[in-house]
Amino acid sequence: MATARSSAASPPEQRLRQVLLSISRQAERDLMLLSSRHPHTRIHALRVRMKKLRAILRLIAPGLAPATIKAIRRSMRVLKQAFAMHRDQHVLNALLAELGEGDVVCHKECIAPENGDGPNGLPGPAQLRRLKATAHALTRRLQTMTLRPLAWDDIATAYARRYAKARQWFRRCERKPSAARLHRWRSPVKDHYFQSLLVLRDRRHLSASRKLGSLLGQIHDLAMLREHYSHGSSDRLARAIHRQMKTLRARIFRKARHLFALTPGKIARQTRAAHKIGAKDAIEG
Domain for residue 26, yes or no? yes
CA-CA distance, 55 to 159, in Å (whole number)? Answer: 9
70, 44 Cβ separation under 8 angstroms: no
Percent of the chain with pLDDT over 70: 84
pLDDT at 236 over 90: no
* Structural domain contains residue 283: no
Could you report the per-residue pLDDT of 109-147, keeping only the tens digit for each? 444 444 445 555 678 899 999 999 999 999 999 999 999
Lowest mean pLDDT among 88-92, 250-254, 278-282: 278-282
CATH (domain of 34):
1.40.20.10
279 inside domain: no
Query: 90 or 261, which is more confident?
Result: 261
Report if residue 83 sits inside a domain. Answer: yes
User: What's residue 142's pLDDT?
Assistant: 97
Check whether 9 has a pLDDT greater than 60.
no
Q: What is the mean pLDDT of residues 161-187?
A: 97
The pLDDT, as a whole number, for residue 119 is: 52
Residues in the chain: 285
> Does 194 map to a domain?
yes
169 near 185, Cβ under 8 Å?
A: yes
39-44 contacts, C-beta under 8 A, 24 or more apart? 39/120, 39/122, 40/90, 43/83, 43/86, 43/87, 43/90, 44/87
pLDDT tens for 210-221 read 999 999 999 999
Residue with the larger pLDDT of the pair 228 and 58: 58
Taking only the tens place, the pLDDT of each residue in 60-111 is 999 999 999 999 999 999 999 998 888 888 888 888 888 864 344 433 444 4
Instruction: Return the H-helix or E-strand segment holding 63.
Output: none
Confirm whether 68 is domain-assigned: yes
Residue 25 lies in a domain: yes
pTM of the model: 0.86
Q: Is residue 284 part of a domain?
A: no
**Domain count within the chain:** 1
Adjacent-strand bridge partners of 151: 284
Give the pLDDT score at 172.
Answer: 97
Does the pLDDT value for residue 253 go beyond 70? yes
Domain span at residue 125 reads 4-274
Q: Where are the beta strands (DSSP E) in 200-242?
A: none
The confidence score (pLDDT) of residue 89 equals: 84
Specify the pLDDT at position 201: 78
